[in-house]
Amino acid sequence: MPAFDKDNQPYQGEHLEQFIQRACAVPFPDDKHLMRYTWPVIRRIFNPLVLDADNIPDRPCLFIGNHALFALDGMIMVPLMLGECNRFLRSMGDKFLWNRMTEGQLLDHGAVIGNPQVCSAMMEQGEDILVFPGGAHEAAKPTSNNYSLMWKERYGFVRLAAQHGYTLMPFATVGPEEFYGHLIEGEDLPDSVVGKLLKRAGVITENTRSDMLPPIPVGALGSLFPKPQRCYVKFGEPIDLSRYAGKVPAQRTQTKIRNEAAQQIERMICELLVLREQRKGEDGMLRRLLTF
């Protein structure tokens, strides 16, 4: 049974323990799993170019990268890693994504709730884990902040990786940020006509943070379907934290580790943006039309 209480609030006390048991029991996808069929479709639509995958060590890793609008990069990364590298990423998702209707589907595709206890359980089991440290805040950013890391003061992923002797595997993606255009930026939404209607409907309240509101999206040919932007994925140098196993590094050390990962990701983003510009001519006419 789903690990929710009578008020549909997940992951507290015994409900969290139930969820961890369910998450740990998710098997590695076999040849009949839906994701095995999903990857060829995603590869056809978004034509990902993967660089430096040979940097990924043959041991469990905590994959960390830049986050795109609506978290659609996870839709690319999880099937890509399964199809291309035979690695099943357990992606950490924000709490608001989970309810009685979504839990089964999310778990089946490897996702787990973004919770330290859940992450620890995944690491103790030796799972590959996918984390976007910017979380929902980075996934709702305006166009002006595209391809910017917005990690605030988050160090939890560094502490957990160090305590479990994990390896941080930085990566960067370019493409998912442009799956959708921004018809109205989230920060402008409350004062717009649409925003006023949402206020009347009770969707936006006085307590709603404007910096957490996503934009009103517009996809291919003005539809809600994502634009088939080609995706570029690049893996950096692994950061082995095995020497910290069982310990909590000093804050200064945590900052150094986090900065090293962030600098790798930012550098790779710049390299991919240049590479994309150089290879624009390889896109077919249909892709150019649908991504205009």
Note whether 231 and 175 are within 8 A (CB): yes
In whole numbers, what is the pLDDT of the chain averaged over residues? 89
Pairwise CA distance, residues 34 & 9, whole Å: 28
Of 5-9, 18-22, 246-250, the least confident = 5-9
Asked if residue 190 is part of any domain, the answer here is: no
Instruction: State the pairing for strand pair 61-65/167-174.
Output: parallel
In the prediction, which pLDDT does 209 show? 67
Asked if residue 187 is part of any domain, the answer here is: no
- Read off the pLDDT band of 11 (50, 70, 90): low
Instruction: State the pairing for strand pair 167-174/232-235.
Output: antiparallel
- Read off the pLDDT band of 191 (50, 70, 90): confident
Residue 8 pLDDT more than 50?
no
Q: How many domains does the chain have?
A: 1
Residue 246 pLDDT more than 50?
yes
The position carrying tokens 């919770």 is 115
DSSP structure string for 111-170: -EE--HHHHHHHHHTT-EEEE-TTHHHHHT--GGGTT----TT--HHHHHHHHTT-EEEE
Asked if residue 37 is part of any domain, the answer here is: yes
pLDDT in tens, 247-263: 999 999 999 999 999 99
Q: Once rounded to an integer, what is the mean pLDDT over residues 235-247?
A: 97
In the prediction, which pLDDT does 5 show? 42
- In 10 A of CB 30, how many CB atoms? 7
Asked if residue 201 is part of any domain, the answer here is: no
In the prediction, which pLDDT does 2 show? 45
Residue 99 pLDDT more than 80?
no
Residue 76 pLDDT more than 60?
yes
Asked if residue 121 is part of any domain, the answer here is: yes
Q: Once rounded to an integer, what is the mean pLDDT over residues 269-287?
A: 94
Please report, for residues 160, 162, 238, 246, the alpha-carbon distance to residue 253 in angstroms, rounded to integers and kept in the order given: 13, 10, 17, 15
Q: Once rounded to an integer, what is the mean pLDDT over residues 96-120?
A: 88
- For the four alpha carbons of 37, 38, 43 and 48, in that order, the dihedral sign comes to negative
Give the residue with greater pLDDT, 74 vs 124: 124
Residue 212 pLDDT more than 80?
no
Q: What CATH number does the domain containing 223 carry?
A: 3.40.1130
**Percent of the chain topping pLDDT 70:** 93
Q: Which of 158, 97, 92 is nearest to 131 (CA)?
A: 92
Q: Which of 234, 77, 249 is nearest to 161 (CA)?
A: 249
In the prediction, which pLDDT does 7 show? 42
Q: Which of 61, 91, 53, 246 is nearest to 167 (CA)?
A: 61
Q: Which of 158, 153, 176 is nearest to 62 (CA)?
A: 158
pLDDT in tens, 137-180: 888 888 888 999 999 889 999 999 999 999 999 999 999 999 99
Asked if residue 251 is part of any domain, the answer here is: yes
Asked if residue 241 is part of any domain, the answer here is: yes
Q: What is the CA radius of gyration of the chain?
A: 19
In the prediction, which pLDDT does 253 show? 97
In the prediction, which pLDDT does 4 show? 44
- Read off the pLDDT band of 58 (50, 70, 90): very high
Contacts of 65 (CB under 8 A, 6+ apart): 73, 77, 132, 170, 171, 172, 173, 265
Residue 107 is part of which domain span?
19-180+219-290
Asked if residue 275 is part of any domain, the answer here is: yes
59-90: string of b/e by CB count within 10 Å (b at 16+)?
ebbbbbbbbbbbbbbbbbbbbbbbbeeebbbb
- For the four alpha carbons of 220, 222, 223 and 226, in that order, the dihedral sign comes to positive
Burial of 168 (0-12, 13-18, 19+ CB in 10 A): buried
In the prediction, which pLDDT does 10 show? 54
Give the residue with greater pLDDT, 10 vs 63: 63
Q: Once rounded to an integer, what is the mean pLDDT over residues 225-254?
A: 96
The residue type of 153 is E
- Read off the pLDDT band of 213 (50, 70, 90): confident
The model's pTM is: 0.90
Start-to-end CA span in the chain (Å) = 45
Residue 279 pLDDT more than 90?
yes
